[in-house]
Amino acid sequence: MDNILQALNNSIELGTRSSLILIAVDKELSLDELVSLDYALLYSEELGGPKNLHPALPNHIAEIAHRREYLPKALNFFIQKGVVTVEARSTGYCYSSNERTLDFVSCLQQPYFRKAWIVLDWISENYQWITDIQLTRLKERKL
């Protein structure tokens, strides 16, 4: 299972999906919101959305803890490359898209990313509800 998690959730994958989310939502997001929306991007059917982007493996909820641990490293890489912007706020760090984010994601033409945009459209319309639900679930599970 660890190899599967790493294959689907390495730094480049996490940063790429975060870039897609930031473009789709077009708002500053906290790390916890990005983690929640990344989970929703992969397992949207669980939240009443479009077909899952990744297969729902047993205990895939544990991936949230993995993402929460590794997403900062992925974001830092994308920040260093200028693809993601970060701002320190009184509530913590907030991440947002910029012109380079749009340049980067517009190059992603593989079928995986075309499927992702279907879910991202749904996320952009429902992101506040999704993050509220996911953050409540995280608190309940204490992940």
Identify the residue whose tokens are 């299972």: 1
* Cβ 64 vs Cβ 35: under 8 Å: yes
Q: What was the pLDDT predicted at 23?
A: 98
Q: What was the pLDDT predicted at 24?
A: 97
Q: What was the pLDDT predicted at 104?
A: 97
Identify the residue whose tokens are 């994601």: 105
DSSP 85-103: EEEEETTEEEEE--HHHHH
Element (H, E) at 131: helix 111-141
**Would you write out the chain's pLDDT as a tens digit for each of its 143 residues?**
344 444 557 889 999 999 999 999 999 999 999 998 999 999 999 888 999 998 877 776 767 777 888 999 999 999 999 999 999 999 999 999 999 999 999 999 999 999 999 999 999 998 888 877 766 665 565 44
